[in-house]
Chains A and B, each alone.
Chain A
Amino acid sequence: MQNCRQNNWRKRRFAYAKDFGCGTVLLENKPSPNHSRSLWVALLIGACLMAGIDEIVFHQLLAWHHFYDQSTPAIGLLSDGLLHAAELIGLVAGFFMYADLRRSHSLAPRRAWAGFFMGMGGFQIFDGIVDHKLLRVHQVRYGVDNLFIYDLLWNLGGLILLLIGVWLLVKARSATAPQQANT
């Protein structure tokens, strides 16, 4: 019997087979979820969505971040431009790939949620450490004495989201493990 968890869907065509005694009947592929793709697509959406939330909430609504703060080096501006392009295109790409997973009935919702939280948390930490501190694109908030507290809370928030994602992934893995043993 073929492996039920092969990722290539064309190979999965006759994956669902049953022996009725008189011979093996091959059944149409029971739409088996594509675990790793579900995780990565949702991770992409999560990271890009977090970047969008950052843009809208902190840049536009709270106006904590600056469009340009007179201290960002040229390389920071360039990386900011490329990252901005990546998040914009990534969000659209992510949603279309998600729609494609739904269409082909291969979405694994638990993995997707895990990936979504991991993406959100991962981007928040990346933004807090690489963008704010290393490239100095901008700071969390200007004109405050205790910037360290803001940085700490920012990265802690990211870490919590990331840990939620990891916890969901561990749960999702343990939920699919017994199924694997049966097939």
Chain B
Amino acid sequence: MQEHYSAYNSPSFWIPNAILLLVLLLYLMAVVRQYQQGKSWSGWRTAGFCSGIALLILALWPPLMHYGHQNLEGHMIQHLLIGMLAPLGLVLAAPLTLVLRTLNPPTGRRLTAVLGSRPFHYVSHPLTALLLNIGGMYLLYLTPLYGAIQHHPYLHWVLHLHFLLAGYLFVWAIAGPDPAPRRPGLQLRSIVLFISAGAHAYLSKAMYAYEFPRNTHHSLEEIQAAAKLMYYGGDLAELLLAVAFFYTWYKAKERRSKTIQTAGVSVPQIFTGYTAK
């Protein structure tokens, strides 16, 4: 069974990698088109997308896949790469903005209508994303689900895909640079970020203390090592997400004060007004 994962020529290796490289190629082509049209596109965003794809390819690298299926620590490394670090790079690369810029106006308008629609608002709400992301983790590790997945290879792929999509949705809902007309305010997003970080830290400590996931072939030491990795690795990811989130706040404040200054009364630095007696 394990041969299945570790072979370089098996479809389970090349299909995901081919998809990832295709997506990267499309992104880069769109960026080149922006430059050809004389528009600017931040190099940081391009770098973010490349590193996101690179992290995903690393997570699907056959030896790591093999290790992840044998060992809970390996599984945690994969989980960290797929669900937390890679989405950060991908979301901050603003792929949706790039798509909107590349599409022809009618299609772009249709996409914007979808982004502004009520169902999309509910699905992409930070609370939904929190539930899918952290709630999914609680379900996976605290119930017999993790043990069940180990016996079904295709469920592993479903799990990886879930980690990626839920992680992407969460990062997008908290700190996404893409336009979203109904995006909730900074206060709610900061509270959700706090709950998420707290729930993640609690889950990893509870796994360490009460030996979750249960009924698996993993030893206690292995579970404890994996839980510690989850705790500190989660810290790193939450820290980076918090930096991205507060950076948007910092930039938004700068924009606001600039518009006030330009629209306001006082422009010269020293002499700003005069009232006769």
Contacts and interface: CB of A to CB of B under 8 A. Distances in A.
Interface of A: 10, 13-14, 22-28, 67-68, 70, 72, 74, 77-78, 80-82, 84-86, 88-89, 92-93, 96, 99-100, 103-104
Contacts of B242: 88-89, 92-93
Interface on chain B toward A: helix, strand, loop, or mixed SS? helix
A23 B194 contact: no
Given A77-B202, A81-B202, A28 B243 contact: no
Contacts of B195: 85
A68 B273 CA distance: 64
Interface of B: 190, 193-203, 205-206, 208-209, 228, 231, 235, 238-239, 242-243, 245-247, 249-250, 253-254, 257, 260, 264-266, 268-277
Given A80-B202, A86-B194, A92-B246, 7 more contacts: A24-B275, A27-B270, A67-B228, A88-B238, A89-B190, A93-B246, A103-B254
A164 B272 CA distance: 42
A82 B195 CA distance: 7
A68 B208 CA distance: 8
A67 B209 CA distance: 9
12 contacts: A13-B264, A24-B275, A67-B228, A77-B206, A80-B201, A82-B198, A85-B194, A85-B196, A85-B201, A85-B238, A88-B197, A96-B250
Max chain B C-beta neighbours (<10 A), residue from A68, A72, A81: A81
B273 A85 contact: no
A140 to B, nearest CB: 19
A100 B272 contact: no
